[in-house]
Amino acid sequence: MQAALGTIYETDRKRVLRRSDLMAKTAVLQLAGRAQVHALREGLDRVLRATVKDPLERELLCAVFGSTLEVSVERWRKERARRPLGTIVREAFRVVARLG
C-alpha cells in the first residue's frame, strides 16, 4: 500500500497536491474524500474477515488504518510534499504502534 501510494503521490505530485488543496477548501469534496476512506475501510474489513474474527477488533483495525492514512496525506499536503508520502505513512504507523 505504501509503495503504491508513494508512487502515485510522487509521480504526479503537483497535480495531487493541487487536488488535495482543493479538497481541503471545498466541503463537498471533503465529504467525497471521507466516503473514499469509508470505502477503503469496508474493503479492508472484507479482506480481514478471514483472519480477524472479532468484529470489534476488525472494525477498529480498519478505522485506525483509514485514519492514519488520512492524517498522513493531510500532513503531506500541509508540508507541501517536501517529504515522500511513504515516509510520512511509516512515521505515522510507528506512532500508532507506540500507542499500544
Output the pTM of the full model.
Answer: 0.86
pLDDT tens for residues 9-34? 777 888 889 999 999 999 999 999 99
All structural domains of the chain with their residue ranges: 2-99
Place of cell 508520502: 85
pLDDT tens for residues 59-90? 999 999 999 999 999 999 999 999 988 899 99
pLDDT of residue 6: 66
Say which residues have a Cβ less than 8 Å from residue 81's Cβ, sequence separation at least 6.
9, 13, 17
